[in-house]
Every structure is written in C-alpha cells, then in structure tokens.
Amino acid sequence: MRVLRFILGDQLTHTISALRDIGPDDVVLMAEVAEEASYVPHHPQKIAFLFSAMRHFADDLRGRGITVDYVELHADGNTGSLTGELLRAVRRHAADAVVATEPGEWRVEAMMGTWAEAAGVPVEIRTDDRFLCSRPQFAAWAADRASLRLEWFYRAMREKTGLLMEDGKPAGGRWNFDAENRKPLPARHTVPERRRFVPDALTRDVIELVRRRFGNNFGDLEPFGWAVTRAEALQALADFVTNFLPSFGDYQDAMKTGEGFLYHGVISPYLNAGLLTAEEVCQAAVAAYAADAAPLNAVEGFLRQVLGWREFIRGVYWLKMPGYEKTNALGASRPLPAFYWTGDTDMNCLRQAIGDTRRQAYAHHIQRLMVTGNFALLAGVRPAEIEEWYLAVYADAYDWVELPNVHGMVMFADGGLMSSKPYVAGGNYIDRMSDYCDACRYDVKLKSGVGACPFNYLYWAFLIDNAPSLQGNHRLGNQYRTLERFGPERRAALQAEAHAFLDALPSDY
Ligand code: FAD
Ligand code: DLZ
Ligand code: SF4
C-alpha cells in the first residue's frame, strides 16, 4: 500500500496531520506550480520565501528518511496546477491512496473535492489541527450570534486553552489591556535592530528564479532577510520574545518613518506557512510573562492577536465562504488609485506605508488598518481591487486571513458582521500615532481648502455619502450630530472637495 501525501506550500509543519502515520512505502509530494504563484502578482519576496521554505522543508523530510517527490517550477512536464501535479504523481508512483490536510483556502478545497474521481483512488482530507479552534468549533461558537465579536471569542479561547489564566480568572484580573497599548513612540527613541537571515545557496538559487520569472511584480526582491527553515524561524521568535515583546503592548499602534517592524512579532509569514505554530508562539509569550521578562499588557496584547484575532479571522472565513467576498454593503465602486502600486503620492503616510511594503513585503497592523486600509475605505474603493492588493503585497497573505481582514475589518463590506463600526479616522489619528505628518506636503491641522490633509475632508464626506447605511449606527452618533451642526452648505462643500480629490486620482499605472 503506497499513500501519496500532498503537502502544500503553507503546510510546512512536521507535525501536520497529513504526515501522521506515514509508512515506509509512502511518498510526500510537494510542487511549485504557476497557478499558485500567479493567482495574484505576489510580492517577489513572498514567492522567494515560500519556495525556499518549501525546498528546505523537503530537505528536512529527506533527512528524516522520508521519500519526497519535489516538483520544481521549471521541472519538465510541470502542469502548473496542484491538481495536475497530484494526478501526475498518483500515476508516477502508482499510489493506492492520497492523504492531504485541509487547505487554507476554499478555492483549493474545491479543487481537492475533484481529486478522488479524477485520480481513481481514495482521497482522505484531514483536519488542520495547527489551529487552536477547528472549523466546527468556531461554527458552534458562532451559531445563533447575529454579530461576531472578537472580545467574546477571545475570552472563550483563553478559558479553553488556559493561557494566561490564574485560578480560572484572567491573569491580572482583566481580560483587556488595550487602553495601555496606544502609546506613540517617544521622540529620539531607538528601536533595537531586528534579527534577519543571510540567504544560503538554496535561497540564492530561488531568488534568481524569482528574479527571472516574477521580477516585474510589485516589490523589491532584495535585501531578502526572511527565515526559511524552522530552526531560523525559532531564532526569529526568540529574538522577538527577548528584545521586542516587552514593549510590544506599549507601541503596538505606533508608526514611525524608517522603522517598519517596530516592536511587532514579524512572525506572520512563519505562522502562516507552518514554520511556527500558534500554540508555541503563545506559550513562548506566556513563559516570558511567567519569568518576569515581559509585562502583562504586552503578553496579553500579543495573545489577543494570535489566540484571538488570528483564530477568529480564520473562523469567519470558513463560516462565510464562499459568498462572503461578494458582499459590498457600502456599494463602494471606485477603482484602486494607482499609487498603491507605484507609491507615487504626496500623502506621506501612504507613501511611507507603501514604501515599507515594497521594501519588506511587510507593514504592521496599524499601517495596514489605519493608513492604506483607512484610505481605501474613505475613498470607496471596490472591495475586490483592494483585496487583490493586500493578497499580493504581503509575505503573510493568504486568502483565509487577508479576506476577512480587508473585506470585513477594513472595508466594512460585510455590513458589520465583525465590527460594530467602520474603522475610519481623519488625519488627527495618524498624526497622534506617527511622525508622518511632520514631513507631509499637506497640513494635518487644516480641515479643508488648499493644502488641507485629504484624510480630514474624506472622513466627513465618507460619513455623508454613507449616511443611508451608517446614520443609524449608535457608535457613530457623535459624528452624525457634529455633521448636523455643520449645516447643508458646509456638508455639500466637503463632499464636493472630497469627490474632486478622488476623481483626480489616476487609477492606471
Ligand atoms: P504582530 O503584531 O506581532 O501580531 C502577532 C501575530 O498575531 C501575527 O503574526 C498574526 O499571526 C496575528 N494577528 C494579529 N492581528 C491579526 C489579524 N487581524 N488577523 C489575523 N492574524 C492576526 N495577517 C496575515 O497573517 N495575513 C494577511 O494577509 C493579513 N492581511 C491583513 C490585512 C489588513 C487590511 C489588516 C488590517 C490586517 C491584516 N493582517 C494579516 C493582520 C495583521 O496585520 C498581520 O497579521 C500582522 O501585521 C503581521 O505582523 P506581525 O507578525 O509582526 O504581527
Ligand atoms: C502562495 C503559494 C505560492 C506562491 N506557491 C505555491 C506553490 O507553488 N505550491 C504550493 O503548494 N503552494 C503555493 N502557495 C500556497 C498555496 O497558495 C496555498 O496552499 C493555498 O492558497 C491554500 O492556502
Ligand atoms: Fe497623511 Fe494627512 Fe498626515 Fe499627510 S497630513 S501624513 S496625508 S495624515
């Protein structure tokens, strides 16, 4: 009996369900395929990271005595699709059965549904238990809830896992330390240098392949400093826990020119590809708290992201897909401005966030949510266009995590399934949390007129334009009362200014 075990590019975990009970005659299949590498124009660092991590993982498996059939992108006969490679490999190895782990994306799950008939052998799809909340568990939690709120899910996950719990109660007596986690970075503050990794020969080969095949995609391929093995990813995690976690909470929402990583984990590509597991990164943070090496606000804030948001977002994805991506509650219909791909804008906050993204295939959460995301929402960009951008440009981007974050959290396209109000802000927020406004051509203090910060009038125009959908939202009551006081002429002037600004933004690049 020979079982073919198909491991996808984001399943690089030795304990993954598809590898359990592997027998001596079994073969592991891994394949670099054009379809996955080009369903969006991925950032070159993202492709290089994943292909290099896949090749290293295959070598690791071979080192453990496992037979691996690894199909490189340019291998003779490579069909360019996961299904095509699976069918070829079943024939090549005369496999009696196929075992795989459920994929991260419904598109791939639909593909897997065709495999048994096409291959003529039984196909077993196993649960991906690297997640701390399974798909059925999330569905059970969500049943009968009209709206899904992170806070309640997160508390249930803390109770279920016992992480940061003392005698059945949250450590420190509170579930939430968010209020302490909103500090801007002090002036002349030096952030410690981040541990990055020098590409080995294998990674350099992959970098050259990516340069030839995907070098025209948005994003700089080098310098390339990502960890590509589990051993390196563990070093990156240790570096984070020792040198950055203690200040993670304090500066979680801060932004600073030239400091792309600040005190963030910079571990999402490793978690999402499987080089690290959610459980071990949570345990590492909790151990730092237990050893007095990191304060509670930092560790709780970090746990909220991994145990809370990451699992919650994945739960929403599988609960609502497919179909979720088609909603457009605010009827947003503008094309994506060209500057998202070129970085060519006078709005310094956007230029910095997009520049960090181009250089690093990374921007931290607040840059994604409150700069590039906030602008797309205020501008009324078509959800599918901004979603494609986020899916392409970040090394950690996969449909299951990008889509609910962008469609739901940023664009409010689901009408508030995940958040009680849209995350919109004027320039004031960006000014408070960053140094971007100091070097901007626009004046953040000016609300309208020549030289005014566009976020300021876009903010009010967004609320006016979307009043039919949002006016009844009690969390926006203050804003709509303020708008009432503006009077009709001022409101019309704000709308005219915003629409003229948006109409003038080029979308071709
Ligand atoms: P840290 O700030 O150190 O947080 C630790 C970990 O928590 C992250 O590595 C991540 O695994 C998890 N996490 C935190 N917030 C979220 C969240 N909202 N959803 C899911 N996991 C979370 N994250 C992705 O992994 N892939 C994406 O494609 C992605 N797209 C996003 C798009 C938008 C518009 C927004 C607002 C957020 C998106 N996120 C995405 C979530 C978050 O921004 C990234 O996980 C985070 O910036 C990764 O950097 P880090 O490892 O330094 O995270
Ligand atoms: C993202 C990605 C890329 C760029 N390339 C491959 C690949 O060549 N082979 C592969 O198995 N997986 C790749 N992936 C990851 C898949 O897109 C991912 O497994 C699915 O989106 C499901 O999450
Ligand atoms: Fe961004 Fe406005 Fe500040 Fe310029 S002034 S950096 S556009 S928030």
CATH, residue 72:
3.40.50.620
- The model's pLDDT over 446-487, given as tens digits with 9 standing for 90+, comes to 999 999 999 999 999 999 999 999 999 999 999 999 999 999
Domain identity same for 306 and 353: no
Residue 222 belongs to a domain: no
Residue 509, pLDDT score:
84
Count CB atoms within 10 A of the CB of residue 169: 12
181 has pLDDT over 90: no
Q: What are the start-end ranges of the E strands in 32-134?
A: 67-71, 97-101, 123-126
Please indicate, yes or no, whether residues 295 and 152 belong to a single structural domain of this protein.
Answer: yes
- Of 76, 99, 126, the position where a domain reaches its end is 126
* Residues 114 and 147 both lie in one domain: no
pLDDT digits (tens, 9 = 90+) for 45-75: 999 999 999 999 999 999 999 999 999 999 9
Ligand 1 pocket, Cβ-based, cut-off 6 angstroms: 264-268, 271-272, 305-306, 309-310, 313, 364-365, 368-369, 373, 390, 394, 396-397, 401-402, 405-406, 409-410
Q: Are residues 285 and 400 in the same domain?
A: no
Residues 53 and 158 in one domain: no
- Do 107 and 44 reside in the same domain of the chain? yes
Let me know if residue 455 belongs to a domain: yes
Mean pLDDT (whole number) for 322-331: 97
Do 120 and 13 reside in the same domain of the chain? yes
What is the residue with the minimal CA distance to atom 53 of ligand 1?
A: 265
* Residues 91, 94, 96, 97, CA torsion sign: negative
What is the tally of structural domains in the chain?
3
29: how many CB neighbours lie within 10 A of its CB? 24
| Alpha carbon of 402 to ligand 2 centroid (Å) | 14
Q: Does residue 234 fall inside a structural domain?
A: no
Cβ atoms 419, 370 nearer than 8 A: no
Instruction: Look up the CATH number of the domain holding residue 180.
Output: 1.25.40.80
Residues of the chain above pLDDT 90, percent: 98
Are 307 and 445 part of one and the same domain?
no
pLDDT value, residue 57: 98
Please name the residue whose Cα sits nearest to atom 44 of ligand 1. 365
287 and 141 part of one domain: yes
- Taking all residues of the chain, what is their mean pLDDT, rounded to a whole number? 97
The domain boundary, picked from 313, 348, 370, lies at 313
Same domain, 421 and 364: yes
Task: Note whether 351 and 294 are same-domain residues.
Answer: no
Chosen domain end from 72, 102, 126: 126
Report yes or no on 383 lying in a domain: yes
Decide the pairing of beta strands 169-170 and 165-166: antiparallel
Residue 239 lies in a domain: no
pLDDT at 179 over 90: no
Residues 98 and 146 in one domain: no
Closest-CA residue, ligand 3 atom 3, reads 437
Task: Determine the structural domain holding residue 284 and report its residue range.
Answer: 135-194+244-313
Model confidence at 326: pLDDT above 90: yes
- The CATH number for 498's domain is 1.10.579.10
CA of 502 to the centre of ligand 3 (A): 15
In a domain, 302, yes or no: yes
The percent of residues in the chain predicted with pLDDT above 70, rounded, is 100
pLDDT in tens, 72-110: 999 999 999 999 999 999 999 999 999 999 999 999 999
Give the model's pLDDT for residue 120: 98
The verdict on residue 424 lying in a domain is yes
Q: What pLDDT digit, counting tens, does each position of 114-165 carry?
A: 999 999 999 999 999 999 999 999 999 999 898 899 999 999 999 999 999 9
Virtual torsion, Cα 179, 184, 185, 186, nearest 10 deg: -100
Q: Is 71 a domain residue?
A: yes
H or E element, residue 128: none
